[in-house]
């Protein structure tokens, strides 16, 4: 593989000159520029970004930590981050942590050793430890789709509270009075906020918040199934459920089908995220849409500003969620189901 020395020698100039034409810095005569360019092409010269990273102290790489790339929501987030990063000249290294604190720590150390220019966190860990360690190391960090109340850090997220509020309000408007919610781990800020929004909506409607209707589960389909079964076995089961993500909602739909419970006639279901699967579900899922492309775009813009030292204060960008009405919600049945 050709080096800058090879090019310089072949072109009969110094390496400084070659460097200048590569980076388009300094003043170079058109003639030499053309000449050097042609030599670079002829030798199939690829400037080493690792060497330049060593001197420039910049790798043009961003790390992205998320729970699971195989989860469509995070895959879509990753895609949006990737797109904006590429536009801005950055590569993205993705690490799936499975929400495992050890993996998270390991990957973070690794990314620091790789000298990534910044790290975007989409993992919903309970502790702020990782974030804090990055902040302490003065490495640019930004959170996407999560929030840290105690730490001052760039953040881009959807208004989860409002999302929960929208979901519950929609159900209230449809006349439901027994509305359940299935949340992921409440120590994850987004989940907590959604539940708070839900409570607010019920309260505003003069409905009592029944703790029996608030279920915590894992964040996958299985979690939704289990929680749904429990809810439907209640002596006074709900007529509507707000699931804190689409996967959970799908789980509910599956349980209903298995039990022969019609959705939305007997049970209304609202999801969250509006990933592709929401539109594919049967019935199509009414859900709260997160503006994923914008989230990715904003978080990259934030972190690149941070990297370039163009920012003074940390920012929190909160985007609005939207209610997408589809087929999984309807007016409350006259009688309670069963």
Q: Which is nearer to DNA, 5 or 110 (CB)?
A: 5
Distances in Å between the Cα of 130 and the Cα atoms of 38, 77, 328 are: 48, 20, 39
Task: Evaluate whether 65 touches 120 at the Cβ level (below 8 Å).
Answer: yes
- In the complex with DNA, the residue whose CB is nearer, 56 or 325, is 56
- Residue 56 interacting entry, from its own copies, DNA, none, C-beta within 5 to 8 Å by type: DNA
Dihedral sign from CA coordinates of 108, 110, 115, 119: negative
- Displacement of CA 29 from its chain's centroid (Å): 47
Q: How far is the CB of 54 from its own copies (least distance, A)?
A: 5
> Tell me, what DSSP letter sits at residue 211?
G
Nearest to residue 275, comparing CAs of 62, 1, 73?
A: 73
User: Would you say 135 or 214 has its CB closer to its own copies?
Assistant: 135
What is the C-alpha separation between 329 and 71, in angstroms, rounded?
A: 25
User: Binding mask 20-59 vs DNA (x if CB under 7 A, - otherwise)?
Assistant: x-xx-xxxxx-xxx-----------xxxx--xx-xxxx--
Closer CB to DNA, 18 or 231, in the complex: 18
282 interacts with its own copies by CB under 8 A: yes
The residue within the footprint of its own copies, chosen from 17, 19, 20, 76 (CB under 8 A), is: 76
159 dihedral zone (left: phi>0; alpha: psi -120 to 50; beta): beta
Interface segment toward its own copies; rule CB under 8 A; list 12-20, 87-95, 148-156, 161-169:
87-95
| Number of alpha carbons in the 13 Å side-chain half-sphere of residue 217 | 27
Judged by CB under 8 A, does residue 338 bind its own copies? no
47 binds its own copies (CB under 8 A): yes
Q: Rounded to an integer, what distance in angstroms lies between the CA atom of residue 2 and that of residue 12? A: 15
113 touching its own copies, by CB under 8 A = yes
**What's the alpha-carbon Rg for the chain, to the nearest Å?**
25
Nearer to DNA, 33 or 200 (CB): 33
Compare residues 38 and 46 and give the one whose CB is closer to DNA: 46
91 forms beta bridges with: 61
Binding mask of the shown chain, residues 1 to 40, with x at each position contacting its own copies by CB under 8 A: x---------------------------------------
CB of 295 to DNA, least distance (A): 32
Question: Residue 50 CB, nearest distance to its own copies (Å)?
Answer: 5
The strand ranges marked E within the chain are: 61-66, 91-96, 118-121, 141-144, 154-158, 179-183, 214-216, 240-243, 268-273, 286-289, 316-319, 322-324
When binding is defined by CB under 7 A, the residue of 9, 15, 72, 135 that contacts DNA is 15
| Inter-axis angle of helices 15-23 and 4-11, nearest 10 | 110
Among 12, 16, 23, 86, binds its own copies (CB under 8 A): 86
Residues of this chain that interact with its own copies (CB under 8 A) are 1, 44, 46-51, 53-54, 59, 61, 68-70, 72, 75-76, 78-79, 82-83, 86, 91-96, 109-110, 112-115, 137, 250, 276-277, 280-282
């Amino acid at each position: 593989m050709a080096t800058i020395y090879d090019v310089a020698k072949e072109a009969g100039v110094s390496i400084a000159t070659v460097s200048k034409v590569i980076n388009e810095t300094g003043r170079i005569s058109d003639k030499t520029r053309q000449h050097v360019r042609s030599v670079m092409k002829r030798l199939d010269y690829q400037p080493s970004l690792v060497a330049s990273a060593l001197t420039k102290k910049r790798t043009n790489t961003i790390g992205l930590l998320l729970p699971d790339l195989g989860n469509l929501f995070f895959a879509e987030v990753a895609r949006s981050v990737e797109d904006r990063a590429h536009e801005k000249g950055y590569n993205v290294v993705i690490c799936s942590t499975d929400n495992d604190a050890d993996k998270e720590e390991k990957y973070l150390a690794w990314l620091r050793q790789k000298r990534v220019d910044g790290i975007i966190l989409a993992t919903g860990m309970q502790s702020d430890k990782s974030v804090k360690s990055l902040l302490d190391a003065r490495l640019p960090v930004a959170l996407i789709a999560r929030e840290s109340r105690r730490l001052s850090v760039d953040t881009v997220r959807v208004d989860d509270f409002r999302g929960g509020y929208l979901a519950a309000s929609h159900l209230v408007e449809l006349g439901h009075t027994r509305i359940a919610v299935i949340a992921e781990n409440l120590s994850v800020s987004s989940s907590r906020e959604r539940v708070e929004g839900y409570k607010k909506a019920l309260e505003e409607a003069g409905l009592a918040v029944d703790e029996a209707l608030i279920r915590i589960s894992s964040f996958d389909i299985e979690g939704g199934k289990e929680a749904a079964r429990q809810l439907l076995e209640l002596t006074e089961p709900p007529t509507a459920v707000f699931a804190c993500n689409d996967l959970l909602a799908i789980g509910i739909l599956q349980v209903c089908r298995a039990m022969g419970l019609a959705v939305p006639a007997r049970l209304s279901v609202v999801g969250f995220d509006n990933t592709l699967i929401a539109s594919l579900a049967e019935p199509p899922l009414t859900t709260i849409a997160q503006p994923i492309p914008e989230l990715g775009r904003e978080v990259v813009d934030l972190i690149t500003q941070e990297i370039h030292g163009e920012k003074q204060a940390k920012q929190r960008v909160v985007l609005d969620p939207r209610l997408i009405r589809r087929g999984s919600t309807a007016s409350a049945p006259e009688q309670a189901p069963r």
